[in-house]
Structure 1
Amino acid sequence: MGRVVFGAVAGRGGRRWVVGVVPWGVAAGAVAWCLVGSWRAARLENYPWNVWTPIGYGAVKGVFLGLLAGWCAVVVLRVVPVAWWRERGGVAVVRFAGLVLSGGLLGGLVPGTVRDFMGEPQPRTLYYFDGPRPESEWYWRPLLSEWLMCTVLPALGCAVLLAVGALVSVRSSRPERFGWAVPALVGVGLLFLPDWAASGAPEPVGNGDHVNESASAGLVVLATGLGLLVSAWVVWWRRRPRRPVGPASPGLTPPRSSPIPPRSVRGGG
């Protein structure tokens, strides 16, 4: 079974369905969780020196969760029997979008769900200054509200955007180009994100911890953006067209040396 799946996916027809899925997951995750961070930052009016930080941390969190969602989508495409991509037109496209959506939702939903239901009760959105709550005050409504707003909705949005991007790659004549173009665009966006997100926020005030927290968030965002740019460059470098190795023209080919005559001819005896 493993050889059949690998051979079909690695073949000319099946491989096309998985090219470009993971980069679109990175972009989709960055957008989805950045929006969650923006929503969270809008609720921190009483904490102005840190108001942009959830936006940056949300985007970085989305990059890694989107990467996980993209890989889960690829795994689902490889595990499911591969005869589906031989189907005609719209049936195969719908099946492909459903598989990518399922895998992406699984990858984006599981980590946050385990953290919310198995970890320590911690209201990250209800009250900023609250510490861990007792279990009697956390489970049911507060937990479900936290799980829905910060885990389910961004994971669903990431999966939908991932499926749309994967369909764009499938319909493209050169799907491999998205492997470096999409991460490069996300990396450039992260480089400008700290300045854009903090443009409408007050200057950092308070003690040193508050100022350092804002600065450390900016460094995390910039480091993630530079990492995406480097990875995009590596992918582009490995997939760039190679020039054939050999002489430039037949005229530059060195003449072949004449064969050495036999000893009997040279010496006469």
Structure 2
Amino acid sequence: MLETYNIGAPTERPPVLIAHGLFGSARNWGVIAKRMSERGRVVTVDMRNHGHSFRGAPHDYPAMAGDLAEVIENLGAQVDVIGHSMGGKAVMVLALTRPDLVRRVVVGDIAPVGYSHTQQGMIDAMRALDLSRVETRGDADRQLAEFVDDAGVRAFLLQSLDVKARAWRLNLDQLEADMAQVLGFPEISGTFEGPVLMLSGGASDYVLPEHRAAVKALFPAARFAKIPGAGHWLHAEKPREFEAACAAFLG
């Protein structure tokens, strides 16, 4: 089962389950989860092949949705789900295949479509690090800067580096092997009739007007909202605004 992190005490509200994106981990969501736990129980997970969760094939959305379903069944209650990017696709597949487990869905800056960009460059950059020369996170950052210009992206990737063990908490081989699955979206028949919030970054191009038909075909009750000035990592760039939008939608 996935590594899970429980914050807050159960209340009359459904628990909130948060699924992170590619190369992320539950710890990326620590601050938001802590603040949201003032309203009730919040559960964050390390997705398969990430963080402290198990390594395994395949790394595709039916498998990831199955992992999330197992976590929810162990909780013994219907949940609200929040997923960002890869995690957003996983919670969409979860809602479509196991609607009995899900009350409301927040999807962070991703659509149920295939994308043409690749994250292979990030995998290559992480592999290029000479971990034998890494004593501190600063050492790793200086090496990574040769391949990744953006300091924010480097900081995000380095959250998955265990400096002491000199190892990535990511199964880079499996993520590379299944990158086409991660970028795509499976063919699924049926719909999820419950409330869905498609929350995107105003400065991001991941959710476009031409994606609305695909969203509405699967999620007829979907609503769309944007966080002005936020890019793809909207929860990291505008955490208070992201949290407020989720709180208002989840009720």
Establish whether TM, by shorter chain, passes 0.5: no
Structure with the larger helix share: 1
Higher RCO, Cα 8 Å, sep 6+: 1
Q: Determine which structure has more spread, i.e. the larger CA radius of gyration.
A: 1
* TM-score, normalization by structure 1: 0.24
Structure with the larger strand share: 2
